[in-house]
């Protein structure tokens, strides 16, 4: 699928071989959708006009949501259960889930191990900052710069 940047408020979309249906978020009057694949002999064919909504038969059905944790966030505990009975936990940024785990206890133990690793990495980073400064060079490499604390410099 190729999606153009908006031009005068209009978005052009070209569907390919793997795009059998139109995602619902693109079913908008300001979106024009074409198809170009073997079914159109690799020629552009309009499947949704500007100013109209797509035929419902062309729309991709929404996948059933298996995790509604963030919709029902009440306790702040990142460990949660999916509809299939598996247990998961969110990582520190609450962006990615880790799992599946068969029980709450195993998910909680994995979360604890994850936190220990994250805290250890942070401590290492803080120590390296204390020991020396790093400088990013123009070529993208990093150079270690030692901090020198002599009495003459601090004097």
**In the predicted structure, residue 15 carries a pLDDT above the cut 90:** no
- d(C-alpha 108, C-alpha 94), whole Å: 15
Residue 133's nearest CA partner among 123, 120, 142 is: 142
- d(C-alpha 35, C-alpha 15), whole Å: 5
pLDDT in tens, 142-155: 555 554 444 444 44
Q: In what order do the strands lie in the sheet with 31-35?
A: 2-3, 11-15, 31-35, 45-48
Global confidence as pTM:
0.44
pLDDT in tens, 59-102: 887 666 677 666 556 567 888 888 889 998 888 777 788 889 99
- d(C-alpha 47, C-alpha 35), whole Å: 7
pLDDT in tens, 92-135: 777 788 889 999 999 999 999 999 998 898 888 888 777 665 55
Beta bridge partners of 90: 97
């Amino acid at each position: 699928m190729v999606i153009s940047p908006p031009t005068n408020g209009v978005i052009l979309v070209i569907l390919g071989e793997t795009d059998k249906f139109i995602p619902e978020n693109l079913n908008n009057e300001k979106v024009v959708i074409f198809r170009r694949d073997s079914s159109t002999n690799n020629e552009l064919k309009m499947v949704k006009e500007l100013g109209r909504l797509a035929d419902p038969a062309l729309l991709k059905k929404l996948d059933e949501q298996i995790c509604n944790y963030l919709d029902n966030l009440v306790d702040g505990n990142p460990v949660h259960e999916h509809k299939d009975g598996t247990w998961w936990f969110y990582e520190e940024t609450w962006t990615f889930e880790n799992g599946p785990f068969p029980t709450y206890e195993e998910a909680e133990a994995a979360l604890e191990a994850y936190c220990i690793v994250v805290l250890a990495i942070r401590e290492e980073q803080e120590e390296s900052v204390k020991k020396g400064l790093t400088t990013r060079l123009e070529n993208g490499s990093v150079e270690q710069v030692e901090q020198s604390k002599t009495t003459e410099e601090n004097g």
